[in-house]
Amino acid sequence: MQHLKPLIFFAILSYLLLGLVPLADLVLSAGDTDLAEAAVRASEQTGLVWTSNLLVVLRMSVAEPALFALLLGSLVPALAAILALALMRRPGKWKAFFGRLHPLRGTSVRSAVVTYALIFVVLVPTLVLILHFRQLTGGSYTGTLTTMSLSAFLLILGAAFLDQGAVLEELGWRGFAAPELDRLIDSPLGVALVIGLFWGLWHLPRDVATGVIERLGPADYLALYLPSFLMGTVSVSVIAGYFMNRLGGSVIPAVMIHGIANDSVGISGSASIVQALTPYHQFTKNSLLALVAIAIVVLAGPRLGRRPRPGCRRPVAATAGEDGPSSLGAFPGDREHD
């Protein structure tokens, strides 16, 4: 139970802190709490189309300060992780936590370059295939990636490193929750599935607050939209888990994979936020991402490419009520903090 407490704190805080979003919206908007209308006004003032690109969101938020509440919402998992860590007595906890932002984590430069390149090689063609799948199934989508040029390359980099949710959330999901759960169950695939499911269900309050459930109707939401959305979060979680293992537990691959999967630049077809939050959009994207995740499990195995660590796998408390250094996680790169 002692080792389960950090995850319990994180889970509770990740939902409770979402309550700050409507509060911040109320303060920033001076009583006008309709974020959809604020986004429309921001688009008219800036000439920008709303996407999950962090720079776009920041520019639109300057025009309509109420939109800063959305940025706060994306920060919630990282804030929950930091607060959960603050409540724990654990040697080296901050070094281990923020150390996950290191892009190499003890991996050789050559191996890291190959791994980062492989992320693009796997996911960018997948997005192109999603576009063709949508076009074949009657979707009115047009993609931004027509030829491989410098501008297309920069668009892909923007999708990978400048996505609002990816940049702001991943230190919580894959930087804290995944390593903590990894200490409790000896199954990298199981960790990825559980975190992916929780991550998906964490969006339920968003869907209530932004009217997604009301717009789709409860029946279509539960039967069509939510299963398709959860298929995406679980698939991305599995893909991220594999590439994190290749880089010693670094959270940077998770940021990239989360961002590319969100596809803020429309490689898989440009879509408005309303169009994106539909069962068709979610299914056509996430069914192909699920195939990628399944292929990784088949090829890399249920340990997602992780080699067993030598010695005792389970953490042992150093003293009553205090976790020992070995409890900082089980990714290969965590050994540097033991």
Which residues lie across from 319 on neighbouring strands? 322
Mean residue pLDDT across the chain? 87
Lowest average pLDDT, out of 87-101, 223-237, 311-325, goes to 311-325
pLDDT at position 2 is 67
Burial label for 46, CB within 10 Å (0-12, 13-18, 19+), is middle
Band (pLDDT 50/70/90 cuts) for residue 256 is: very high
Beta carbons within 8 Å of 141's beta carbon, 6+ residues apart: 131, 134, 135, 268, 269, 270, 271
Q: Which residues contact 131 (CB under 8 A, 6 or more apart)?
A: 141, 143, 267, 268, 269
Handedness of CA 55, 166, 202, 220 (dihedral sign): positive
CA angle 232, 199, 236 (to 5 degrees): 35
Q: What is the pLDDT of residue 287?
A: 98
Q: CB count, 10 Å around CB of 104?
A: 16
From the list 45, 48, 38, the residue with the least C-alpha distance to 272 is 48
Residue 316 corresponds to which amino acid?
Answer: V
How big is the CA angle at 254 (ends 266 and 334), to the nearest 5 degrees?
A: 170
The pTM score is 0.88
Please answer whether residues 282 and 159 qualify as being in contact, where contact means their C-beta atoms are separated by less than 8 angstroms: no
Is residue 85 pLDDT above 60, yes or no?
yes
Confidence of residue 318 (pLDDT cuts 50, 70, 90): very low
